[in-house]
A = this chain, B = another copy of it.
Amino acid sequence: MADSEGRTTRTTVRTITDLARLAGVSPGTVSRALAGKSLVNTQTREKIEALAREHGFRPNQMASGLRRQKTGVIGVVIPLGHDTRQQISDSFFMTLLGYLADELTTHGYDLMLRRVVPETDPDWLDRFIGSGMIDGVIVIGQSDQFERIEDVADGYRAMVVWGNHTEGQRHCVVGTDNRLGGRMAAERLIAAGATRLAFLGDTGPMEFAARFAGAQDVAARMGLSPILPLPTHLSPNRASAEIAQHLAVHGHAIDGIFAATDTLAALCLTELRAQGLAVPEDVKLVGFDDLPVARQTVPALTTVRQDIAAGARGLVDLLLRRLAGETTESFVLPPELVLRETA
């Protein structure tokens, strides 16, 4: 094709109307053809498809979304605690995010990622939902926002949350049975010979609280003294110093540590060595998550496994069902103890 000055010009076709003009049909027909509806003559459809391919045309998703009142996008939001840097780079969340991306893609959805700091933005969840940009939302981690999530759940169905399940809660959640996982960890530590236990990690977030409670159950049942909580930030740079401090104070008063995550466990292992405490001889150690790092530490980490891939599948599956109008129950995954060398 050549314009009046003789240059070859690929007529730019941006809209469905442009394409319709080229094909000699109406925009409506083009829309139907591209959407693969059955009401279009086969020849017409093929002609339109050919033209679309030739000009690399794709219908504008904003306009389409506006008209159809759905966007094909699922929001994934990570509420961060006080410790801003904390979780977004945390292996566990990132791994889960990776699987979610896979799973959503497979089902034809795009993923919109948002990290929020509820403390400075109390309106975080409504804002995301009300933006009109997403068909549904997956919340990764309840953090300390349980109540707000509950409130929203009453009026908004297209939401699924990764986190801990509490009896009678109103929002749909997918997550590991943290309390049971905590019991497993404590049982293992005790079976390995430990009697004075500590819990490494913040007990504020619900998941961690449940893990701690589970361990506490066992300690109480076995008649041991209560488990010593050693609160610690999750960001690696702060955690190391805090762990070192904890060990300096309590290192010789304890002989079993249940770490809230493998990341903390790995750091703890380094600090234990630095302070001359042998694992598992002097101190037994159990982690949580079974991240790749658990296999690589020396000695390799005994830990409670969460099936992250299954979790991602569950989140997406439940969300899609809810989008389709079903009512869904929460989905609790069983933890699994992985025996390695630290306990």
- Segment of A22-30, A40-48, A123-131 engaged in the interface with chain B: A123-131
A252 at the interface (CB under 8 A from B): no
A62 to B72 CA separation, bound complex (whole angstroms): 12
Known contacts: A102-B88, A126-B56, A270-B295. The answer to whether A62 contacts B133 by CB under 8 A is: yes
B112–A112 CB distance below 8 A: yes
With most chain B CB atoms within 10 A of its CB, the pick from A113, A126, A263, A295 is A113
A166 to B63 CA separation, bound complex (whole angstroms): 39
Copies of this chain present: 2
Chain B residues with Cβ under 8 A from A105's Cβ? 114-115
Chain B residues with Cβ under 8 A from A58's Cβ? 126-127, 130-132
Known contacts: A66-B63, A132-B60, A236-B292. The answer to whether A102 contacts B73 by CB under 8 A is: no
A295 to B274 CA separation, bound complex (whole angstroms): 13
Q: Please name the residue on chain B nearest to A89 by beta carbon.
A: B98
A267 to B130 CA separation, bound complex (whole angstroms): 45
A115–B130 CB distance below 8 A: no
A102 to B117 CA separation, bound complex (whole angstroms): 11
A63 to B62 CA separation, bound complex (whole angstroms): 7
Q: Please name the residue on chain B nearest to A90 by beta carbon.
A: B98
Interface string of A262-275 (1 = CB under 8 A from B): 01001101100100
Chain B residues with Cβ under 8 A from A59's Cβ? 132
A297 at the interface (CB under 8 A from B): yes
B112–A110 CB distance below 8 A: yes
Q: Please name the residue on chain B nearest to A115 by beta carbon.
A: B101
Our pick among B95, B99, B111, B130 for the contact of A113 (Cβ within 8 Å) is: B111
Chain B residues with Cβ under 8 A from A60's Cβ? 66, 131-132
Q: Please name the residue on chain B nearest to A132 by beta carbon.
A: B60
Interface string of A61-75 (1 = CB under 8 A from B): 111011000010100
A62 to B266 CA separation, bound complex (whole angstroms): 45
Chain B residues with Cβ under 8 A from A111's Cβ? 112-114
Name the 4 nearest CB pairs between A and B, nearest first. Answer: A94-B94, A60-B132, A88-B98, A89-B98
Instruction: Report A's interface with B, CB cutoff 8 A.
Output: 56-63, 65-66, 71, 73, 88-89, 91, 94-95, 97-99, 101-102, 105, 110-115, 126-127, 130-133, 236, 263, 266-267, 269-270, 273, 292-293, 295-298
